[in-house]
Amino acid sequence: MKNKVEVSAPGKLMLFGEHAVVYGKPCIVTAVDQRVRVRAEIHGGKQLTIDAPDVGVTRYVQDMNKLGEGEIPKGARFILAAIKKFAQSWEIPTGLKIETKSDFSAEFGFGSSSAVTVGVVKALASLFEVDIPKERLFELSYGSVLDIQGVGSGFDLAAAIWGGTLYFVGGGKEIVPLKIKHIPLVVGYTGIKADTATMVKRVSRLHDKNKEVVDSIWKTMTLIVMRARTALETGDDKTVGELMNINQGLLDAIGVNTPELFDLIGAARSAGAYGAKLSGAGGGDCMIAWTDEKNPSDVVNAIKKAGGSVLNVNCNAGGVELK
């Protein structure tokens, strides 16, 4: 047993296939160089202390044998779920101190809850010297997230674990690291925080009511992901952009676009981006534009002029790692 460890896990951006992936279809996701850092320390006694100031948690204290009982602050829920999940497979013989810190705001939709969940499981495995392969880390992290959220495909957990850019099939049925030549993305933030579970449930109601219609959208999204995979691997920017635009049209069709996303996407396209779409659950959060690598500044300025803020992120970042 070690005394303390520190790990970091990346956030993510969805490139293609959001929502369809919840229905077992494929998507393409890239890890970003904005990370969540988790520090886990052995603590004498039998208490757990959590400090996660970025999500409003300061000195949450609970008995290790009463994990999950009583009032749990929102920001501590994923951390607790990850500890509980780990403790179901391996005994935690001591008290613990967990601290988390994020490079990015939880508002952006970069997947801070998933990165923190992966970070906590990985940190505990390292602290108690358990050898945990990526697939098992995914299984435990996915179980923790489903315990809290009830819905989700797990793509964000895979990005946090494997890093890079992944072809991912809903639930983790296939996780394939892709070799991408370059990712000339500009990321625009609408300033509006969306709630993923709410958006997923809204789409689920639409699907229940119009099953065949929405299933045919998932089929088309699957074709888009397949073609996008090839276009990304061969560096065919024009096709990547076109496919982003088609994907965006279908996301609009299932009701997850917003006027703010529409404005930023339109501005990016008018300024010469190859294509643009929302990224993630929709309802707010971020949009992405595929640009000419040599001169993205027109697109950057257009997004700002349309009311968005441009986030400085690099894609294809490394997966969870010990410091």
Report the residue number, 14 or 92, with the smaller CB distance to ligand MEV.
Answer: 14
Helix, strand and coil percent figures for the chain, each rounded to 5:
45, 25, 30
Per-position x/- string for 150-189, each x denoting binding to ligand MEV as judged by CB under 6 A, each - no binding = --xx-x----------------------------------
Q: Of the ranges 17-25, 70-78, 219-227, 314-322, which one interacts with ligand MEV (CB under 6 A)?
A: 17-25
Residues 271 and 262: beta-carbon distance below 8 Å: no
Among 5, 13, 14, 166, binds ligand MEV (CB under 6 A): 14
Q: Which of 5, 7, 9, 21 binds ligand MEV (CB under 6 A)?
A: 21
Angle (CA) 189-295-27 rounded to 5° is 50
From 5, 7, 19, 248, residue interacting with ligand MEV (rule: CB under 6 A) = 19
Residue 46's Cα: distance from chain center in Å? 33
- The residue annotated as part of the active site, out of 63, 103, 156, 237, is 156
Q: Does 218 bind ligand MEV (CB under 6 A)?
A: no
286 Cβ partners below 8 Å, 6+ apart?
13, 108, 109, 110, 187, 188, 189, 190, 278, 279, 280, 311
**Least CB distance from residue 109 to ligand MEV, whole Å?**
6
156 is catalytic: yes
Q: Binding to ligand MEV by residue 281, rule CB under 6 A?
A: yes
With contacts defined by CB under 6 A, name the span among 18-26, 34-42, 288-296, 307-315 that binds ligand MEV: 18-26
Tokens of 189: 């933030």
Exposure string of 283-320, with b = 16+ CB inside 10 Å and e = fewer, is: bbbbbbbbbeeeebebbbebbeebebebbebebbbebb
Q: How far is the CB of 151 from ligand MEV (least distance, A)?
A: 7
How many residues line the site for ligand MEV (CB under 6 A)? Answer: 12
Burial class (CB in 10 A: 0-12, 13-18, 19+), 66: exposed
Binding site for ligand MEV (CB under 6 A): 14, 18-19, 21-22, 152-153, 155, 196, 200, 280-281
Please give the positions annotated as active site.
156
